[in-house]
Copies of this chain bind each other. A is one copy, B any other.
C-alpha cells in the first residue's frame, strides 16, 4: 500500500478524552474513530489489525475442532424468556421493539440462540461432541463506556459453545478451548495467565479468565511467578487426546493465580515470598462450563447410549478481538507509539522514501516495495512529500515491526537503513540482499 493512496488520519494532538495509553495510541494512529459513546469505527489501519487477530483466533478455533457459524446480532426476546435471562440481564441489554411491536434485543452473548440451534437439529449422543463458534458484533449497554475499544458498547466477540453428553466429556471440551486459548494469546504476542474466575451472569461452576499483566490493567491479580516460564503447547498438540489436554490444563492451573474477586489470602500465604507476583491485569478471554443451565430449561436433549434422553452439558468460551487489540497495545508500546508483535502488525514492513520525486530514490523504493509484496509481505510505502521528522514519527507511532529508510544518497550507493521498531536497532544494509533478509 502506498501512503499517498491510503487513508491514515494521524492525529498530532493527544485526544483529551482518552484515559489509557491504548485508547490514545489507537486514536492517534488513525486506527479507530468514536461514532457515539462506546461505539467505534475501525479505520483502514485498525481494520487490518482486527483481521489479523481474527484470523489467529479462527485458526486456533478450527484447529481445536470447533466449527464456524454466523448467528445474527438481533435476537428475539422470547428466546431469552425461555432461559429466564430476559429479565435478569438488566439495563446492559439493548432492548428493541420492531414495527410490529415484537420485542427484540441486540445480543450481548448467544447461549440461548445456539442452544436453540442445537435443539432444532441434534437428537443423538452420536452427533457429539459439537462446538459451534462465531465472530460477531455484540452490544452491551454499559453505564459508562470508556477506555476506547477496551470497554466499548458495540464490540466484536468470538464466542464458542460446546455440547457434550456428560460432565466428563464437557470437561474435555473445556480443556480443548483452554489449550486453544493459550495458543491464541501466545500467537498474538501476549503472555496470558489463566485464573479461576467468578461465573457472573453466564452461570455455571467452572470458569477461567485469561489475564495479561499490564500496569494499566483494570483489576488486581495475584499469581505465582512460575507462570512466566510455563511452555505454551505447540501447534501439533493433539486435540483428540483427552489425557494430554488434561495434563496441560493441570500444569497451567496448579500454581496459584487469582483475580481480586477470587483471591484467597490463605492460599496466597503459602506461595514463597520471592515467587509472589501481585500486579494489574487485563482480561482477554473467559471460558465457562455451566452444565445443563441452558439445555435443561430450553429442552436441548439428546438420546444417550442407554436410549434415555438427557439434557446436554454445555460450556461457552469468549475472546473479544477488539478488546484484545487494545490489550496488545497496553502490553507493547513505548513513548513513540505502538510496537506491534509481528503476527498482528497491520503491515510487516514500512518503507520510508526520504525524497519522493528523486528518480533514484523512487526507483529503489518502488523496486523494494514490489519485491517484498511479491514475496508475500504486507508493505506500507511512505511516498508522501513530508518532513523527515514527521515520516519517522508516523512510522514509530503506527509501530510496524521493520522500517526501511531510503534516501537519495543511500539509493545511489545501493544502501538502505533498516530499523527494528521493538529494539530501536538501526543498521545500514545493501539493497541487494534486503528482500532475502526481510523474508528470512
A: which residues have CB within 8 A of B?
5-7, 9, 30, 33, 35-37, 39-44, 46-47, 50, 65, 67-76, 79, 91-92, 94, 96, 98-99, 102, 104, 106, 113, 116-117, 120-122, 130, 132, 134, 137, 139, 141, 143, 153-154
Of B72, B122, B143, B154, the residue contacting A99 (CB under 8 A) is: B143
Nearest CB of B to A216, in Å:
24
| Chain B residues, Cβ within 8 Å of A68 | 44, 47
A36 near B69 with CB under 8 A, answer no
Q: How far is the CA of A241 from the CA of B30 in the complex (A)?
A: 30
Contacts of A74 in B (CB 8 A): 36, 39, 94, 106, 139, 153-154
A214 to chain B, nearest CB (A): 25
Q: How many angstroms from the CA of A322 to the CA of B434 in the assembled complex?
A: 44
Given A141-B99, A154-B74; A36-B67 close (CB under 8 Å): no
Chain B residues closer than 8 Å to A69, beta-carbon distance: 7, 41-44, 47
Given known contacts A98-B141, A143-B99, is B67 in contact with A44 (CB within 8 Å)? yes
A1 to chain B, nearest CB (A): 9
Q: How far is the CA of A35 from the CA of B116 in the complex (A)?
A: 9
The closest CB in chain B to the CB of A92 belongs to B99
- Give Cα A137 to B116, complex, Å: 22
CB distance from A86 to the nearest CB of B (A): 14
Residues of B within 8 A of A79 (CB): 35
Contact indicator A41/B7 (Cβ below 8 Å)? no
Question: By the criterion CB–CB under 8 Å, are A113 and B143 in contact?
Answer: no
Contact (A117, B44) CB under 8 Å given A36-B75, A50-B70, A65-B5 = no
Out of B33, B71, B94, which one reaches A117, CB within 8 Å?
Answer: B33
* Pairwise interchain contact B41-A70, C-beta atoms closer than 8 A: yes
A44 to B61, CA, bound (A): 13
A63 to chain B, nearest CB (A): 13
Query: A117–B141 Cα gap in the complex (Å)?
Result: 23
Chain B residue numbers with a CB within 8 Å of A44 are 67-69, 132
Contact yes or no, A72 B39, CB < 8 A: yes
Contacts of A106 in B (CB 8 A): 74, 96, 106
Shortest Cβ gap from A149 to chain B (Å): 11
Of A37, A104, A122, chain B has the most CB atoms within 10 Å of the CB of A104
Q: Which of A7, A47, A72, A73 has the most CB of B within 10 A?
A: A72
